[in-house]
Amino acid sequence: MKKKYLLILEYEGTAYHGWQVQKNGLAIQEVVEKALSRITNTKTTVLSSGRTDAGVHAEGMPAHFVTESKMSTGEFQLALNSIFPHDITVKEVRKVPMAFNARGSAKRKLYRYTILNRDFPSALSFRRSWFIPHKLDFAAMRRAAKYLKGEHDFTSFRAGNCNAKSPIRTMDRVELFKQNGFLQFEFEGKGFLKHMVRNFVGTLVYVGKKKFPAKQVKTILEARNRRQAGPTAPPEGLCLIKVEY
């Protein structure tokens, strides 16, 4: 009898060309599917809650698969973690109803972007943060971030090749934190557009560098023009923290 399981995956995305299987490089989805196919002795595919870009990380990426295997959730976790490389881990395996869909059933996602803002880089955090040695105006960035909260047309903050049908999204929570030289940006909402968080951060960094006043973020939103916003922040600072169902 077929059963559906949900994996909660953690990965360090530096070595991968994103989540989705593709021709030009190794993707996390490919690693997961090969491992599942090996332990179930049948070709197995996974569907995630979304896609992360090349170099982006996850603390809690959900992905489901269907199988007739009689393995328990604990056996799946042990078997997968014994096969996976050191930069991919299964944190949890859950049996879910057949109607469950890792993508369609998601109610909220939390992304965190980390910047290291001090005079010298970090040998331990360079794969997980964007190093900016120039002092940023954190207070101005925090003021600017408030304009991103709520429901908006986020055309100015989505990638040019984003194929989402609608640019309307709702940011339920937008918060900035500062500790020991690290700036952390948290964005929480039901759905995100391609490169949306990284474009948010690139624009807020422009505010921090005083290239934009904080209130210009409102003007950028209203312009519905990607060229009005700041650059796309590099992928290494971005991490999918969790998805709620």
**Rg of the chain on CA atoms, in Å:** 19
- Catalytic machinery residues: 53
Helix (H, G, I), strand (E, B) or coil at 179: strand
128 is written with which tokens?
A: 């997980």
Tally of residues, the chain: 245
Q: Which of 216, 148, 218 is nearest to 176 (CA)?
A: 148
Query: CA-CA distance, 144 to 238, in Å (whole number)?
Result: 19
Residues near 67 by beta carbon (within 8 Å), at least 6 away in sequence: 2, 3, 5, 36, 40, 42, 44
Can you point out the beta strands (E) in the chain?
A: 3-11, 47-48, 57-67, 88-96, 108-116, 130-131, 150-153, 168-179, 182-189, 238-244
Q: What is the largest CA-CA distance in the chain?
A: 61
What is the DSSP pairing of strand 108-116 with strand 238-244?
A: antiparallel
Q: Which of 120, 129, 122, 46 is nearest to 88 (CA)?
A: 46
